[in-house]
């Protein structure tokens, strides 16, 4: 359930949350949330300076991990030459397939 809530938060922030990458980002968001929550519970300062610092650090760390994930996922497209794929769609008139 928590993973689904994190995917909803990512989607609300206009961050793609589907597929393997979305699952990893949702897990990372859960870890970020837990880390900052622990700091917030122990923060006695009315201005929440420690919590804000922990949030800033966690978001920066999350951004670095997200960039690394983007780099790793782009490796296959760099290794394989770009090919044009033939896509098909059903014609409105029947079962014939038409090249798009």
Could you tell me where the beta strands, DSSP code E, fall in the chain? Answer: 88-90, 97-99
Tell the burial category of 9 from Cβ atoms under 10 Å away from its Cβ (0-12, 13-18, 19+): middle
Please give the torsion angle defined by the CA atoms of residues 14, 59, 36 and 13, in that order, rounded to the nearest 10 degrees: -10
pLDDT at 35: 92
CA distance 10 to 26: 7
Identity of the highest mean pLDDT range in 15-19, 24-28, 37-41, 68-72: 37-41
**What is the structure's pLDDT at 69?**
87
Query: Average of pLDDT values for 9-24?
Result: 81
Q: Which of 86, 84, 83 is nearest to 99 (CA)?
A: 86
Rounded average pLDDT over 29-36 = 91
How many whole angstroms from its chain centre is CA 81?
A: 26
Contact assessment for residue 39 and residue 54, using Cβ atoms and an 8 Å cutoff: yes
Give 44-87 pLDDT, tens digit per residue: 999 999 999 999 999 999 899 988 988 888 877 777 766 555 55
- What pLDDT sits at residue 16? 77
Domain ranges (residues) in the chain = 2-75
């Amino acid at each position: 359930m928590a993973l689904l809530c994190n995917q909803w938060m990512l989607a609300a922030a206009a961050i793609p949350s589907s597929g393997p990458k979305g699952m990893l980002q949702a897990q990372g968001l859960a870890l970020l949330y837990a880390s900052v929550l622990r700091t917030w519970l122990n923060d006695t300062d009315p201005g929440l300076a420690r919590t804000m610092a922990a949030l800033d650090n966690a978001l920066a760390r999350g951004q670095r991990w997200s960039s690394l994930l983007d780099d790793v996922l782009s490796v296959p497209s760099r290794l394989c030459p770009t090919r044009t794929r033939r896509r098909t769609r059903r014609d409105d008139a029947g079962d014939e397939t038409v090249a798009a």
